[in-house]
Each structure stands twice: as C-alpha cells, then as structure tokens.
Amino acid sequence: MRVYKFGGASVKDANGVKNLAQVLQTTGYNNTLVVISAMGKTTNRMELVIKNYFENKAELQSAIHEVVKCHNDIMVNLFKNENHQVFSDIKALFDELNTFFKSNKSPDYNYVYDQTIGFGELISTTIISHYLNDIGLKNNWVDVREFIKTDNYYRHSNVNWERTQANILSNLDVNVLNITQGFLGSDSNNFTTTLGREGSDYTAAIFAYCLNANSVTIWKDVPGVLNADPRYFENAQLLHQISYREAIELAFYGASVIHPKTLQPLQRKEIPLYVKSFLNPEGSGTCVSKGEALVPEIPCFIVKKNQTLISLSSLDFSYIMEENISEIFSLLHLYKMKVDVIQNSAISFSVCIDNLYDNLEKLLQHLKAKFNVTCHENVSLYTIRHYNDAAIKELEKDKEVLLKQLTQGTVQIVTK
C-alpha cells in the first residue's frame, strides 16, 4: 500500500491534472491512496470569500464567482462533453456552499472557516476523480471527513487516532485506487474541521500510519528537500537522504517542503517518506528514513516572513522570574500565538511569534499592564541548521539584526 500526496501547485490547471494522471501511469497506481489539495490558489480565494462573508457581504457572491470561474475553466479543458456529470457535481458543491452561508447562524469565525475552506479540496478531488475515470484510471472517490475524526479545535484540530484508525481499517478498500482530500476531518458532531494550513501532508501521514503503508510520496514542484527555499536563497542544493530527526527539526523551524506534523506518525512506524518532483517522477528526489547518521553536510537555511518580535522588561527593573515567564506563556496560549523563538536575561524577555489568529493587539494590551513592551511587526526569522561562520555572515549582510540566538547545531536570527 502506498500513499501519494499532490499539492495545489501540481493541479493548478488542466495540464497539472493531466500530469498527475501521467505520474500515476508512470509509477503505477494499484493499491494506492492519493491525497489531493485544493487547486492552485483556491484556498487563498476561499479565504477572501470568508472575509467577505464577515466584512463585506456585498462582495460575497463576486468572490464565490471567481472560485467558480477558475474551476470551470479547468473543467472545460478536461471534459469536452458539456453535459458531463462532473459539471452537475461541482454545481451541487457550490450550491451547498451558498446554502451554508444563507443558513449559518454562528458568529464564530473559526467555525465558519472550517465549514467552508475545504470546498476547495472537495471540488478538486471531484474533478480529478472524474477525469481519471474518463481516461481509464478507475478510482474510488473518498470523503476524508468520514475517516479522519478530530476534536473541534477549529482550524488546528487534533486527530482522534483511535476512531480514525478504526474508520480507515473498517471502511477503506485498499485494493483500489482511492482519491481523497487533504487538510480536512470532522468532529464528533460531523462538522468539518481542518488540520492546519498546509495540512494535506499530515493527512497522507495519518492514512499511511493507520494502513501500515509501505511509503508516502509527496509530489512537489521542486526536485526534493532542498537545503534552502529557492524563492529566497540562491544555489539551493538537493538533500538526497535525511533522517526523520533531521527532517522534523527542519519542519519545526519552518521548512515549507514538509508539514511539521507529518513526520511523527511516519517515524513511529518507520514508514519512509519520499519527496519528489511531479515534473520528473522518475527522479531520485529525497528519502526521509531511519538513520541517525543521515545529517546534511551543508548548512540548511529556513526563513519565516511576517513574524512579530515582542520584547518585555519589568516596570520596576526587577528580575524576570519564573512566575513572570509562566504568566507570559499563559497569555501567549490564551491568544493562540505560535512561539518560534524565546530569549531571556535577568530583566528582559523576548519572544518571536506567529500571529495566526490576529490577536496581537489584545495580547499587547494585556502585557502592557505589567511590563514595558516593545513590538516589532513584519520581521523575518531566519534559521540555519548546521551553521558555520560564513553562512551566518552571508545571512546577516545588509540586514538589521534584532535578535540572535545560537545553540549547538542551530542559529536563529530575527531581522527587520
């Protein structure tokens, strides 16, 4: 049993869908489960739909129409028969979306987000499943929400592993090609939940774990795991093989090629993870597997943009003690801030955070009641694994360094 995952970039248009089919024909597709993301920038477009629902209802239908148009353009290029079943199936999904907006009474943004954002995945997999069937790759379309069960922590739900494994082992036919959605699950009331942005990799790992799969392959628009994101760094190099531990470290610090939660279930059962290019399916790519010695011999660079650096000191210049730090972390938890770096001295405490839930102002108001607060927004957090002096010097060139922290094997630098 194999699990494949295709991201949005791989199915951004009709040619991408055709290429996905070509990858399956090249590598084989028996006993394979394929996890697929929303097409192209659909998730961004759906986030605009949700924003308009709350803030500008006059533009809601226009935003939905933009999503409809993008998918219609793809379908017209894939299906020559305008009476094909796919068109009515996709229309039914958009009708369901509109019905939700008309009937919803909840003011909870996170709940509404999860009930609507996943239509991108439902639509993409419906289109692709129909196309594969048409060209002879017979498959079973699977609603992932019937298999992956979670709590109701909307937008970052936690998997109920016992129920999920029971569902998958009891109800999934592993002898056929299965097509399903990434990113989604459902809670005990069958409301849709999501596993966090870019959570489709995690979906693939969940199925692999529950099915004791032979491998997971993530198909990307890069040749494998690189030592740096080529969008931000020149001369990125392919890492042919790395350990689970090293990949988890890279993911934790923000390497975009692998979702942070993906590797833990795979490591527990020693299921190898391959990262390959959908443009070159026969290329070697990167293998992530067991082995303490599988450590990159070159520095690995990671950058996280649009972070926030908060520096605190006591109002009376007293020490920042354990009780102060405990209170600070309680507030960070309360306002759902993702902590990326912390640094403290006797009278100061600095933290670099990701303001995922747009609660920064509330947090700052709370902190200012007890501390002197300095806040730098829109900073960049750079991490170098296996750093050397030359790598640090090159990274810091022409940048204002706000915070720098070195530990064995890793340096983190916050710049403005």
Per-residue pLDDT tens digits for 299-316: 999 999 999 999 999 999
- Greater confidence (239 vs 317) lies with 239
Q: Report the C-alpha gap between 35 and 53 in whole angstroms.
A: 29
Please state, in angstroms and rounded to a whole number, the distance separating the CA atoms of residues 109 and 335. 15
| Residue 250 lies inside a defined structural domain of this protein | no
pLDDT tens, 8-51? 999 999 999 999 999 999 999 999 999 999 999 999 999 999 99
Domain contains 289? no
How many structural domains does the chain have?
Answer: 2
Residues 186 and 317 occupy one common structural domain: no
Please count the CA atoms within 13 angstroms of the CA of 131 that sit on its side-chain side: 25
CATH number of the domain to which 139 belongs: 3.40.1160.10
CA distances from 251 to 200, 201, 259, 304 (A): 14, 12, 6, 12
**pLDDT of amino acid 392:** 98
Residue 15 lies in a domain: yes
Picking from 287, 295, 296, 289, the residue whose alpha carbon sits closest to that of residue 236 is 296
CA distance 203 to 262: 8
Percent of the chain at pLDDT > 70 equals 100
Q: Select from 184, 213, 242 the last residue of a domain.
A: 213
Whether residue 122 sits in one domain with residue 7: yes
Provide the pLDDT for residue 213: 98
What are the backbone dihedrals phi and psi of residue 150, each rounded to the nearest 5 degrees, phi first?
Answer: -135, 175
Q: Pick from 164, 193, 213: which residue ends a domain?
A: 213
194 and 62 together in one domain: yes
Q: Tell me: the pLDDT tens digits for 208-217?
A: 999 999 999 9
In 3D space, the residue among 211, 204, 214 whose CA is nearest the CA of residue 179 turns out to be 204
The pLDDT of residue 291 is 86
CB 177 within 8 A of CB 100: no
What pLDDT shows up at residue 92?
98
Residue 383 has pLDDT above 90, yes or no: yes
For residues 176 and 44, membership in a common domain is answered with yes
pLDDT over 90 (residue 59): yes
pLDDT digits (tens, 9 = 90+) for 238-275: 999 999 989 988 988 988 778 778 999 999 999 999 99
pLDDT reported for residue 163: 98
pLDDT at 225 over 80: yes
Tell me the residue range of the domain where 111 lies. 2-213
Percent over 90 (pLDDT), the chain:
92
Confidence band, pLDDT 50/70/90 cuts, at residue 189: very high
pLDDT, tens digit (0-9, with 9 covering 90-100), for 60-113: 999 999 999 999 999 999 999 999 999 999 999 999 999 999 999 999 999 999
Q: Is residue 97 part of a domain?
A: yes
- 267 in a domain, yes or no? no
Confidence of residue 183 (pLDDT cuts 50, 70, 90): very high
Asked if 184 and 331 sit in the same domain, the reply is no
| CATH number for position 348 | 3.30.2130.10
* Cβ neighbour number for residue 276 with a 10 Å cutoff: 23
Domain boundary residue, one of 197, 213, 229: 213
Co-location of 194 and 307 in the same domain: no
Six-digit token string for 107: 């003011």
| Confidence (pLDDT) at 292 | 74
Average pLDDT of the chain, as a whole number: 96
pLDDT of residue 251: 86
Query: What per-residue confidence (pLDDT) applies to 259?
Result: 76
Q: Tell me, yes or no, whether 246 lies in a domain.
A: no
Q: Residue 14 domain-assigned?
A: yes
Rounded mean pLDDT, 168-183: 97
Residue 198: which pLDDT band, with cuts at 50, 70 and 90? confident
Decide if 258 is inside a domain: no
